[in-house]
Amino acid sequence: MIKQFIFAFIATLTFGILFNIKGEKLFYSALGGGISYLFYYVLLSMGYSAISSTFFVSILIGTYGEVMARVIKTPVTIFIISAIIPLVPGGGLYYTMYYTISENYNQALKYGMDTFQIAIVIVISILLVGTISKFVNKLKSKLI
């Protein structure tokens, strides 16, 4: 489990460098990636499906991003973009392609649907967190 955290941390850290993030922002975005993949791993080993684990973890990432953006005063995307990368269904994409060219269309369709669903789940959960945070912001400005 520690291993998963470290690999995810390094992976997001290097992604942060590829996206030209610097300083403490780089560290915190990598930390977000590490923590989120750790949760993903734990949820998977508890028997949740890849899709529902992705959903919960994306919500976690979105919330982490919104909170950190207010703490460090920097755009939310910096934290979300690199932290979400380990969840991106690269494996699903690969197997879809692989089974398509080996003309095993049943498997290709299965992996294709899985990949598509995971992508949609990531989109929806980030959308959800973004909408809620906008709502909270509006609520705060109305109350004060």
Partner 1 sequence: MSNISYLAVEAGKIILENGGETYRVEETINLICRSYKIKNADSYVTPTGIMFSAEDEYGNNLSIIKRIKHRRINLEKVAMVNELSRKVQEKVLSSEEFENELAKISSSKSYSNLAFILSSSLAAFSFTLLFQGNIYDALVSLLIGAMLRINMIFSSDYDVNDFFINVIGGIITSLTALIFCSQFNTLSLDKIMIGSIMPLVPGVALINSIRDTIEGDLVSGLARALEATLVALAIAVGTGIVIKLWAFIFGGIV
Site residues for partner 1 per CB under 8 A: 3-4, 7-8, 10-11, 13-15, 17-22, 25, 37, 73-78, 80-82, 84-86, 88, 90-91, 93-98, 100-102, 119, 122-123, 126-127, 130-131, 134
- Shortest CA distance to 33 belongs to which of 2, 64, 56? 64
Q: Cβ of residue 17: shortest distance to partner 1, in angstroms?
A: 4
Q: Cβ of residue 71: shortest distance to partner 1, in angstroms?
A: 14
Residue 86 DSSP code: G
Q: Cβ of residue 61: shortest distance to partner 1, in angstroms?
A: 10
With respect to partner 1, which residue has the nearer C-beta, 60 or 76? 76
The angle subtended at Cα 14 by Cα 39 and Cα 63, nearest 5°, is 40
> What whole-number distance in Å separates Cα of residue 87 and Cα of residue 13?
15
> What whole-number distance in Å separates Cα of residue 97 and Cα of residue 24?
38
